[in-house]
Amino acid sequence: MTQETTFAAGHQFIDGRYRQGRGGEAKRVNPATGEVAECIRYADIGDVDDAVTAAGRAYHTWSRATPGERSDVIHRLASELDKRAGQLAAVETAQTGKSIRLSTRFDVPGTVDNASFFAGAARQLTGLAAGEYGAGGTSMIRREPIGVIGSIAPWNYPLQMAAWKILPAIAAGNTIVLKPSELTPGTALLFAGAARDAGIPDGVINIVTGTGAGIGEHLVTHPGVAMVSFTGSTAVGRRIMELASRSAKRVHLELGGKAPFVVFDDAGLEAAAHGAVAGAIINGGQDCTAATRAYVQAPLFDAFTARVAELMDRVVVGDPADEDTDLGPLISHTHRDRVAGFVERARAAGAKVLAGGYAPGGELAAGAFYRPTLVTGAPQESEIVREEVFGPVLAALPFESDDEGLALANDTAYGLAASAWTRSLDRSLRAGAEIQAGCVWINEHIPIVSEMPHGGYKASGFGKDMSAYSLEEYTNIKHVMLGRDKSTHKDWHDTVFRQRA
Ligand code: NAD
């Protein structure tokens, strides 16, 4: 099945069928060449209404399926995704510009593993044991799905983000309408087709494509949507929360990040330098957990930055479809120019650029490419250290004491992920406890596993993706109490209205 034949019927997946959107037409540009790759007819708000209606209808039966029944079809979905691994990787690379090695070895297997995990986790929803917590009554906990989930996803990991949003929601018995980024709808649409072929009933998963202003806000405020699950920038997350607040709708927000990478003076220099390059340039640095601020204890600073610059200079930037390419283009020319702007302004303010800091020319000139970049000498207060650049750019700053290093790591609005590099158990434990982030890696940066939660502190949002914790996001807890005291006037009634002759 090619992408063209799959989407010939249109770029919407509603009630188990691909169909043409009724909104405006947009052109998707290949970021590696700057050429138009595809025309997409977006959904209009009527299409969103259709998708929410289909999801609402499907909810009645899907929410009542047993965990075992839901688990069976999600298992089959994992194998349908696996069968399509080559196609998914190719489409993911074509639409984002990420290297085919990353799509093939990270995005696709991660997605298949996520589906396998949630197939199992669907059967593991637990709560308090039933019991008599008050006199005369037996209490039990029911964990129930919420309803139709409206979900909105970003462009950086379109397939994995679709999986992270859809899988826990449906494993818990909800149905979903997902709006992927308008820049990258392809793999979410393929995911939905795989789900249909796996036997997931029509209407359980719906994909509508279009912009945030065009259809995203309509989805968020739709009265048929019970909860909004959003991954994207902090600015848009705030807007979504504001919109959802009008009907006191439940929200789950996975927002931006500005991960610190703290190198103590007893760290293995080679390991830290390799970890920093991989952690900073993964997915073109367009990763909410990417290493962006390296704080390096003074004795190691010069050696660390020299080695990172040397390794960055060796990174192969080029055609993302080439197996030998380490780094493809960024998502768009506009975004590349935004990234370059941060570096230019830092340079103009006196920072040094030890590696990269430019868009390669020659045969890559037409694409949205940018070399891996290391910046030193930018102060803690500068925008390149404080704001989300979302490109392959690492800013390095020295620190003296451990207290200072950890304080600098925490001196940010964000709190999604962080790492600390040290051979000391005390420093490892201290960093793990004191860095305010949803994930702290020690002597590692980036690896994620389906069993462990992903989610932010502070302006990086709240709620967890992946792991059993994400199932909690998509369920309501209900207390059911069975009164067992058969008397008509119970003891506690006497507190409210005394029994009188
Ligand atoms: P974005 O916030 O611009 O867009 C995300 C999604 O929101 C898109 O689908 C977009 O169409 C939609 N949207 C935009 N405005 C909207 C509105 N007013 N109402 C409803 N929907 C709207 O983010 P992006 O540029 O696509 O992605 C990059 C951002 O995502 C970065 O900030 C990154 O850190 C973040 N991100 C976070 C995580 C995480 O797990 N915390 C994961 C990946 C990406």
Tens digit of pLDDT for each residue in 303-317? 999 999 999 999 999
What is the whole-number distance in angstroms between the Cα of residue 159 and the centre of ligand 1? Answer: 14
What is the whole-number distance in angstroms between the Cα of residue 430 and the centre of ligand 1? Answer: 32
Percent of the chain having pLDDT more than 90? 96
Q: Which of 353, 261, 268 is nearest to 303 (CA)?
A: 268
On the CB side of 106, CA atoms within 13 Å amount to 18
User: Which amino acid is present at 171?
Assistant: A
Coil, strand or helix: which one is 177? strand
Residue 8 scores a pLDDT above 90: no
Residue 66 scores a pLDDT above 70: yes
pLDDT band at 2 (very low <50, low <70, confident <90, very high): very low
CB 321 within 8 A of CB 354: no
Residue 377 Ramachandran class (φ > 0 left, ψ -120 to 50 alpha, else beta): left
User: Which atom from ligand 1 is nearest to the alpha carbon of 243?
Assistant: 19
Residue 131 scores a pLDDT above 70: yes
User: 263-276 in b/e burial notation, b at 16+ Cβ within 10 A?
Assistant: bbbebeeeebbebb
Average pLDDT over residues 290-310: 98
Is the CB of 211 within 6 Å of ligand 1? yes
pLDDT of residue 1: 43
Is the CB of 255 within 6 Å of ligand 1? yes
pLDDT of residue 112: 98
User: Which amino acid is present at 70?
Assistant: R
pLDDT band at 41 (very low <50, low <70, confident <90, very high): very high
Residue 23 scores a pLDDT above 60: yes
Nearest CA to ligand 1 atom 32: 233
Q: How far apart are CA 494 and CA 498, in angstroms?
A: 4
Average pLDDT over residues 206-218: 97
Q: How far apart are CA 193 and CA 188, in angstroms?
A: 9
Q: How far apart are CA 437 and CA 53, in angstroms?
A: 38
Q: Which of 371, 369, 367, 345 is nearest to 357 (CA)?
A: 371
pLDDT of residue 173: 98
Coil, strand or helix: which one is 179? strand
Helix, strand, coil percentages, rounded to 5, for the chain: 40, 20, 35
The DSSP-derived string for 417-482 is EEEEE-S-HHHHHHHHHHS-SSEEEES--S---TTS-B--SGGGEES-BSHHHHHHHTEEEEEEEE
When computed from its CA atoms, the radius of gyration of the chain, rounded to whole angstroms, is 25
pLDDT of residue 126: 76
Mean pLDDT, all residues of the chain = 96
pLDDT band at 113 (very low <50, low <70, confident <90, very high): very high
Domains in the chain: ranges and CATH: 3-126+138-255+456-479 (3.40.605.10), 259-442 (3.40.309.10)
What is the whole-number distance in angstroms between the Cα of residue 324 and the centre of ligand 1? Answer: 30
CB 392 within 8 A of CB 285: yes
Lowest mean pLDDT among 4-8, 86-90, 236-240, 294-298: 4-8
Q: Which of 99, 96, 233, 104 is nearest to 155 (CA)?
A: 96
Q: What is the pLDDT of residues 365-410, one digit of tens each?
A: 999 999 999 999 999 999 999 999 999 999 999 999 999 999 999 9
What is the whole-number distance in angstroms between the Cα of residue 209 and the centre of ligand 1? Answer: 14
| Catalytic residue set | 254, 288
> Of 156, 215, 286, which is best to mutate to test ligand 1, by the most ligand atoms within 8 angstroms of its C-beta?
156
Q: What is the pLDDT of residues 168-185, one digit of tens each?
A: 999 999 999 999 999 999
CB 275 within 8 A of CB 378: no
> What global pTM score does this model have?
0.96
pLDDT band at 128 (very low <50, low <70, confident <90, very high): confident
Residue 50: CB partners within 8 Å, gap ≥ 6?
14, 15
Is the CB of 287 within 6 Å of ligand 1? no
Is the CB of 456 within 6 Å of ligand 1? yes
Residue 96 neighbours by CB distance under 10 Å? 32
Q: How far apart are CA 322 and CA 328, in angstroms?
A: 9
pLDDT of residue 208: 98
pLDDT of residue 134: 87
Angle CA 98–100–105, to nearest 5: 105
pLDDT of residue 3: 53
Percent of the chain having pLDDT more than 70? 99
pLDDT band at 483 (very low <50, low <70, confident <90, very high): very high
User: Which atom from ligand 1 is nearest to the alpha carbon of 179?
Assistant: 9
pLDDT of residue 7: 79
